[in-house]
Amino acid sequence: MELEGEQEELLPGYLDSFARLIGDKRTETTFRETVRGIMGAGSLVCERIAASSPILSRAKEGGQRVSRMVRGESTKRSPIDAESVTAVLRERGVAHLSETDADEMWLIADGSDLRKPYAQEMPDLMQVRDLDGDPVAGYRTLNVLGITRSRRGVLYHRLFSSKEDDFVSESREVQQMLQTVSAGLAELKKRMTVSWIMDSGFDDVAVWRTVWEQEEHIVCRVKHPERLVLYLDDTGQLVKGSIDRARERLTLLATAQTEMVVRRGRQQRAKKQRIPVEIRACPIQLTYETNVRRQGPGQTVCKELWLVEIRLPGTALEPWLLVTDWSVEDGESAVRVFQMYRQRWAVEDSFRFIKDTLGWEEVQLLDLTGIRTLLALGWVAAGFLYELGVTLEWAEVQLLARLGGWAQKTGNKPGKIVLTRGLRRLLDMLVTQAFLDRYRAEHGELPPQIVSLLKSFR
């Protein structure tokens, strides 16, 4: 994705935020050109990154220069590693989000798998799931995007593997994410309410406990409907039962409409269309121990929550079942919770778009430190694109879509496969051109047969 005009002019100022990590001019140049190259190539392959940089492409071993930097082999005076880079990225995200008068922030937590199904020599590969749910080799990542009414900022990124020697547990990784993000938002929380909007992978009392201790809110999709709660029976008395049983007490509070890619009725294929939404809710109470997955004594707490069910009539989709600590007593509050979780879906689409655009699963280094640092630099590029407000309406994105075979029609937006195909075709051209340029530099001219072949395509 090539930047032009004003977008290109904004990049140096954005990268200035990372200046304190850099101790020499050569590393500064490599750092800046690596981020630029990631956006230009849409890839985390070092050779492709270098080929898309005006400076690194002229170097004899531009790809190796990128590789040495992310491995830490050429940065003895520059603390450039995944932890330091993401710490600055978080500070930049907080600063960007603070430049608004919004009184509320939503935090979208994303637990993505980085899949490397054909890798054999990459270090500490663990088992993750592919899109069909089958086990493949890869790594796990945790990412957090903060959003207000008008801004987005990357607040957290970490790659981990259960095969590392110092790995403790995924629960520990999630707790580190929650606490790190909250600490980074300490000043903003003085004037903003903060809500975590989570998918079912975070349906965990230990997660919720930490969020509440940090005086933040949750909207979380239910994964464990067998969880025991208290709810009101027909006589108005609190009784103990599962969340599944509590669903019998749900009351219709509101109806709404939303736009989604679904198949309705007798439609043969899914398409983007407006569909009705029914929102039901009822109060529940959750009793838990504050020392869950902690050492030492704890306390028993009874938390008042709301169970919210969102039905999509006329579709084959299962209802969304949510738990939230926001009060849901009327139609307005019911629609608000629906909009919060619906925003999560929109942000997940944004996550996927950015990951596809930056080619984050292409990373190939044989050193876990280098993999982490290169992926962190990918998120530096993502942070810049989020600040720019990159969308499917960008001219550059439209071009990628057309290269991928997309035909522009009303209501027909390019999908992930088309964008990825277009990006691959563009990358192939870039790699070919870089290789030919290097051959000319080393040998003076191309072989006559190749020159003749290239002329035949003009």
Q: What 3-state DSSP class applies to 430?
A: helix
Q: Domain check: are 159 and 239 in the same one?
A: yes
10 part of a folded domain: no
Give me the pLDDT at residue 79, please. 80
Any idea how long the chain is?
458
Q: Check whether residue 344 and residue 439 sit in a common domain.
A: no
Q: Are residue 346 and residue 400 in the same domain, yes or no?
A: no
Assess if residue 303 is contained within a domain: yes
* pLDDT value, residue 457: 60
What pLDDT score was predicted for residue 5? 46
Burial class (CB in 10 A: 0-12, 13-18, 19+), 119: middle
Name the one residue in this structure whose structure tokens are 């679904």: 262
Query: 308 and 443 share a domain?
Result: no
The answer to whether residue 90 sits within a structural domain is yes
334, 355, 376: which is the final residue of a domain? Answer: 355
pLDDT digit string (tens) for the chain, length 458 residues: 444 444 556 788 888 989 999 988 989 999 999 988 888 787 888 998 899 888 999 888 899 999 989 988 876 777 888 999 999 999 999 999 998 889 999 999 988 888 888 887 788 999 998 878 889 999 999 999 999 988 888 899 999 999 999 999 999 999 999 999 999 999 999 999 999 999 999 999 999 999 999 999 999 999 999 999 999 998 889 999 999 999 999 999 999 998 877 888 888 888 878 899 999 999 999 999 999 988 888 899 999 999 999 999 988 888 999 999 999 999 999 999 999 998 887 677 667 766 776 777 888 776 888 889 988 888 888 887 777 665 445 555 566 677 777 766 545 565 545 655 665 565 566 557 666 777 788 888 888 888 887 777 65
Question: Exposed e or buried b for every residue in 193-225, given b needs 16+ CB within 10 A?
Answer: ebbbbbbeebbbbbbbbbbbebebbbbbbbeee
Q: Which residues contact 100 (CB under 8 A, 6 or more apart)?
A: 148, 149, 150, 151
For the question of whether the overall pTM of this predicted structure is more than 0.85, the answer is no
- CATH code of the domain containing 165: 3.90.350.10
d(CA 63, CA 364): 12
Residues 6+ apart with CB under 8 A from 455: none
188 shares its domain with 325: yes
Other CB atoms within 10 Å distance of the CB of residue 122: 18
In a domain, 387, yes or no: no
Q: Can you tell me the distance from the alpha carbon of 2 to that of 23, in angstroms, rounded to the nearest whole number?
A: 28
Whether residue 447 sits in one domain with residue 307? no
Give yes or no: residues 410 and 330 share one domain.
Answer: no
E-assigned strand segments in 90-189: 104-115, 126-129, 135-147, 152-160
- How many CA atoms lie within 13 Å of 184's alpha carbon, on the beta-carbon side? 27
**What are the contacts of 397-400 at 24+ separation with CB within 8 A?**
397/1, 397/357, 400/1, 400/42, 400/357, 400/426
Would residue 413 count as lying in a domain?
yes
Type of residue numbered 79: P
- Please provide the distance, in angstroms rounded to a whole number, between the alpha carbons at the two ends of the chain: 24
Q: Which of 337, 355, 373 is the last residue of a domain?
A: 355
Do 424 and 339 share a structural domain? no
Tokens of 275: 């569909």
User: Does a structural domain hold residue 64?
Assistant: no
- Domain co-membership, 185 together with 304: yes
**In this structure, are 420 and 305 located in the same domain?**
no
Is residue 133 classed exposed, middle or buried when 0-12, 13-18 and 19+ CB atoms within 10 A define those classes?
A: exposed
Same domain as 415, residue 330: no
Both structure tokens of 52: 């898309």
Q: How many separate domains does the chain show? A: 2
Q: How far apart are CA 357 and CA 365, in angstroms?
A: 19
Q: Which domain holds residue 439?
A: 392-458
Residues of the chain by 3-state class (helix, strand, coil), percent to 5? 45, 25, 30
Can you give the three-state secondary structure of 187-209, one letter per residue? CHHHCCEEEEEECHHHCCHHHHH
Q: How far apart are CA 84 and CA 357, in angstroms?
A: 24
48: in domain: no
Query: Do 123 and 241 fall within a single domain?
Result: yes
Indicate whether 69 belongs to any domain: no
Q: Which of 339, 355, 371 is the last residue of a domain?
A: 355
Q: Which residues of 231-254 are buried (b: 16+ CB within 10 A; e: fewer)?
A: beeeeeeeeeeebebbbebbeebb
